[in-house]
């Protein structure tokens, strides 16, 4: 990678490539910016991960953490791993622990790890055990407690299975609806993706009175204009492997979820799903980007000019990183959810008001705020 094509006054500060011949480890850590605190970002394990991808993700984390108002900088890590490495528990553990041991000089002082693609609570347990410091990573199993304040039976780790990102997306959606004067009670919502983010977003929005009329997974879309029962939908997904087996409802091809007559559209799974081929078919008044990069800034600009309110990804899906901060501080899950709600509501409101005042799209306003927050602490 040609880092000079990306490097600017904000970073990256460190690019650390890790090799361990004994276990066949090839890993990379990019610490983009530590002006607000240690760099925070997950570790992904894929066959194709490279330094360019990791840098781009680290930069996104710089903005996400700054905008969320957290004392964290931006970072990201990647381990090159074959599908066989990822499936084999012993092999995976060896790679994670070798990576952790190699990064001891900078963890947790300059970098705090977390879960990402193909890493979860078990991998975080391995990572912090190899490092020896409870604060080496977040997303640890709920029963892992720091000796300093952990009591028997208390839940201290906050794995992503708690659904903090989806919970935050639901609150971001309500804040956006309030901004344009749309009553969330009875508002029609379509959610692309029914994984960790989509399931929790649909549950909480349903609790707030929204009408979830369409949900998709890899098998297709289930659509019912009278609304879907999210609890029943979750049970059917668990039992049969897909939301399309829900009844009553109409099964549609995946691409049609973006074209339905809804008030709110939530792309919550794949990148690049709103494209030049379908953006003009979006009928929603609000698009809440629960997934990372579901469209391009250029298409966001066109939708903005058409009067569609687009809540950008690093604003809408910051619940996960706010939850990470709560765990880092040793908060319990109850306090974590309170913090996510408070910060997401406040930040979405600030971003949307700034965008309206300056007549720019919300992404531009959000980036401007994030840069101001990081810039205030830029080292000279």
Catalytic residue positions, numbered: 76
Strands (E), the chain: 14-20, 25-33, 39-40, 43-46, 73-80, 111-112, 188-192, 211-217, 220-223, 250-252, 264-267, 286-288, 309-311
Contacts with 272 (C-beta within 8 Å, 6 or more apart), sequence order: 293, 294, 295, 296
Q: How far is the C-alpha of 65 from the C-alpha of 89, rounded, in Å?
A: 32
Q: Are strands 73-80 and 188-192 parallel, antiparallel or unpaired?
A: unpaired
Contacts with 111 (C-beta within 8 Å, 6 or more apart), sequence order: 29, 31, 38, 39, 40, 41, 75, 77, 103
Q: How many CB atoms lie within 10 A of CB 288?
A: 32
Contacts with 274 (C-beta within 8 Å, 6 or more apart), sequence order: 258, 267, 282, 287, 294, 295, 299
Cβ atoms of 322 and 339 closer than 8 Å: yes
Give how far the C-alpha of residue 336 lies from the chain's centroid of Cα atoms, to the nearest Å.
16
Cβ atoms of 245 and 224 closer than 8 Å: no
- Judged by DSSP in three states, 203 sits in helix
Token pair 């912090």: residue:
128
Tokens for 81, please give them. 């791993």
Distances (CA, A) of 16 to 27, 47, 72, 345: 8, 19, 19, 36
Q: How far is the C-alpha of 154 from the C-alpha of 157, rounded, in Å?
A: 9
């Amino acid at each position: 990678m040609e880092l000079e094509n990306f490097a600017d006054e904000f970073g990256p500060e460190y690019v650390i490539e890790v090799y361990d011949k004994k276990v066949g480890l090839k890993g990379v850590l990019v610490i983009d910016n530590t002006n607000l605190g240690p760099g925070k970002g997950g570790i992904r394990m894929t066959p194709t991960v490279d330094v360019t991808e990791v840098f781009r993700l680290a930069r996104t984390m710089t903005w996400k953490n700054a905008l969320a108002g957290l004392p964290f900088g931006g970072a990201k890590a990647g381990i090159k791993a074959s599908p066989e490495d990822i499936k084999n528990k012993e092999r995976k553990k060896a790679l994670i622990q070798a990576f952790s041991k190699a990064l001891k000089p900078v963890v947790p002082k300059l970098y705090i790890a977390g879960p990402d693609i193909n890493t979860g609570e078990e991998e975080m347990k391995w990572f912090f055990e190899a490092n020896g410091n409870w604060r080496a990573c977040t997303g640890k199993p709920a029963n892992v407690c720091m000796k300093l304040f952990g009591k028997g039976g208390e839940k201290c780790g906050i794995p992503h299975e708690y659904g903090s990102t989806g919970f935050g997306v639901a609150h971001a959606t309500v804040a956006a609806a309030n901004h344009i004067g749309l009553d969330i009670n009875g508002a029609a919502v379509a959610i692309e993706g029914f994984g960790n983010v989509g399931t929790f977003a649909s549950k909480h929005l349903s609790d707030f009175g929204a009408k979830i009329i369409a949900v998709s997974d890899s098998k297709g879309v289930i659509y019912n204009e009278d609304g879907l029962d999210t609890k029943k939908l979750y049970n059917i997904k668990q039992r049969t492997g897909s939301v399309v087996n829900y009844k009553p409802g109409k099964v549609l091809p995946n691409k049609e979820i973006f074209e339905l007559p809804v008030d709110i559209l939530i792309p919550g799974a794949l990148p690049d799903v709103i494209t030049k081929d379908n953006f003009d078919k979006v009928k929603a008044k609000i698009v809440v980007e629960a997934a990372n990069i579901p469209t391009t800034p250029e298409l966001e600009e066109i939708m903005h000019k058409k009067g569609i309110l687009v809540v950008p990804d690093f604003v809408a899906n910051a619940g996960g990183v706010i939850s990470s901060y709560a765990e880092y501080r040793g908060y319990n899950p109850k306090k974590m959810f309170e913090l996510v709600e408070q910060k997401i509501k406040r930040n979405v409101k600030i971003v949307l008001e700034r965008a309206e005042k300056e007549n720019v799209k919300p992404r531009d306003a959000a980036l401007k705020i994030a840069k101001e927050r990081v810039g205030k602490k830029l080292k000279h």
